[in-house]
Each structure stands twice: as C-alpha cells, then as structure tokens.
Amino acid sequence: MNGSFLAAYDDATDRFRMARDYRFIAGRVPSAIFATMRPVAGIILQEPDFKGFERAGLRPDFLLKNPNLRAYVLLGNRDRNNVDRQAKFIVDRIPKHYVGVYEGSIAVLPQPLADSALDWMKKEYALP
C-alpha cells in the first residue's frame, strides 16, 4: 500500500480548501483502493487489474460504501477475457460508471483519453 498517497491526500485536504464532493483521483488499481480509504467523488482508472484488491487484503465491496462514487474506466483490448472481467467488476460495484475500451495497451494515458475522462466527470457533476 502506498502510504505516500494517503499522506499527500491528507496534507492537501488539510492545507487547501477543497470541496469534499469534488475530489477525484486517477491511476490504476491503487486509486480504486484509495477510494475505499478516503472520501472521493470519482476515480479515473486506466487498465485496472482488480486482483490488486485481493493482494492488498481488501474486500472490493468497500467501493459500495460511497453510493455517489463515479468511475471512468479505460481498458486496453489486448486481452479480451481480462476486459470482460474488469468491466464486470466495475458494473457490479459502481452504479455510476463509464467503461471504455481502446486498441492494445498503453502505459501512459494519452491526452485525448484523459480529456474525455475529465469531460465525463464534469458532466456527471455538472461542473463548468
């Protein structure tokens, strides 16, 4: 578990005026895990492998504790079975979600895909 993220999150929320309802995090599975530990409005996940929940000893149903949580999930189609499994994980646990599939696999999320994720979150929360 990355204690650095949790420390940075706590520090930022203490130092800056941040609306609790509009905190978002992004990344791979740790972002989803952190969403069970700190209040967030939305998570943007790229090619998550939700087996990380099991490896961390967490129950994935913790995601259900935040009924307003939104998830924007991007999956590479390199492994179709994995895409189906990861999409099912999201659909079963986060009612407000978007699951997108792109060609191949990408290490760093390209700007157009990141922009789409942010635009979706803005629309979901009616942000300017």
The model's pLDDT over 91-103, given as tens digits with 9 standing for 90+, comes to 888 888 999 888 8
Examine the pLDDT at 54 and tell me if it is beyond 60.
Answer: yes
* Angle, vertex CA 33, rays to CA 79 and CA 88, nearest 5: 40
**Is the alpha carbon torsion for 45, 17, 5, 33 positive or negative?**
negative
Q: How confident is the model at residue 23 (pLDDT cuts 50, 70, 90)?
A: confident
Examine the pLDDT at 119 and tell me if it is beyond 90.
Answer: yes
Examine the pLDDT at 89 and tell me if it is beyond 80.
Answer: yes
Query: Of all residues in the chain, what percent carry a pLDDT higher than 90?
Result: 6
- Give me the phi and psi of 101, to 5 degrees please: -120, 135
User: Among residues 91, 97, 114, which one has the least CA distance to residue 42?
Assistant: 97
Global pTM? 0.78
